[in-house]
Chains A and B, each alone.
Chain A
Amino acid sequence: MDLTLKVWRQNGPTDQGKMETHSVTGVSPDMSFLEMMDMLNDQIIRAGGDPVAFDHDCREGICGMCSMFINGEAHGPSRGVTTCQLHMRSFKDGDTITIEPWRAAAFPVVKDLAVDRSSFDRVIQAGGYISVNTSGETLDANAIPIPKPQADEAFNAATCIGCGACVATCKNASAMLFVAAKVSQFALLPQGQPERSKRAKRMVEQMDKEGFGNCTNTGACAVECPKGIDLSTIARMNRDYLSATVKED
Chain B
Amino acid sequence: MSNSGILKSSLAKKYVMALTGLFLCLFLVGHLAGNLQLLLKSGAEGQRAFNEYAQFMTTFPLVKILSYLTYASVLFHAIDGIVLTMANRKARPVGYVNEKGSANSNWSSRNMGILGTIILVFLVSHMQNFWYQMHFGDIPNDPNGLKDLYGVVLKFFSPENSMSLFAVVGYVLAQGALAFHLSHGFASGFQSLGLRHAKYTPVIEWSGKIFSVLVPALFAIIPIYLYITQQ
Contact = CB atoms under 8 A, between A and B. Distances in A.
B214 interface: no
Given A217-B109, A220-B101, A238 B92 contact: no
B110 interface: yes
A219 B87 CA distance: 19
A19 to B, nearest CB: 6
Contacts of A214: 10, 13-14, 84, 87-88, 91
A19 B97 CA distance: 9
A73 B92 CA distance: 16
Contacts of A239: 194
A227 B98 CA distance: 23
A241 B92 contact: no
Candidate in A8, A205, A248, A249 with the most chain B CB atoms within 10 angstroms = A205
Interface residues of B, number: 43
Candidate in B1, B14, B99, B105 with the most chain A CB atoms within 10 angstroms = B105
Interface in B94-110: 94-101, 103-106, 109-110
A205 B4 CA distance: 12
Given A238-B191, A249-B3, A72 B88 contact: no
Nearest to A10: B94
B92 A103 contact: yes
Interface in A158-194: 169, 171-174
A210 B11 CA distance: 15
B78 to A, nearest CB: 15
A234 B194 CA distance: 8
Dominant secondary structure of chain A at its interface with chain B: mixed
B104 A241 contact: no
Nearest to A97: B98
B9 interface: yes
Nearest to B17: A216
B188 interface: yes
B169 interface: no
Contacts of A244: 6
A242 interface: yes
B23 interface: no
Contacts of A171: 88, 92, 101, 105, 110
Interface in B78-128: 84, 87-88, 90-101, 103-106, 109-110, 112
B39 interface: no
Contact of A241 (B11, B95, B98, B109): B11
B70 interface: no
A174 B109 CA distance: 14
Interface string B172-205: 0000000000001000100111111010000000
A6 B12 CA distance: 40
Contacts of B143: none
B5 interface: yes
A165 B195 CA distance: 25
A73 B15 contact: no
Interface string A224-249: 10000001101111111110110011
B2 interface: yes
Given A218-B105, A219-B109, A234 B96 contact: no
Candidate in A106, A217, A223, A239 with the most chain B CB atoms within 10 angstroms = A217
A223 B92 CA distance: 20
A85 interface: no
Contacts of A6: 97
Contacts of B99: 72
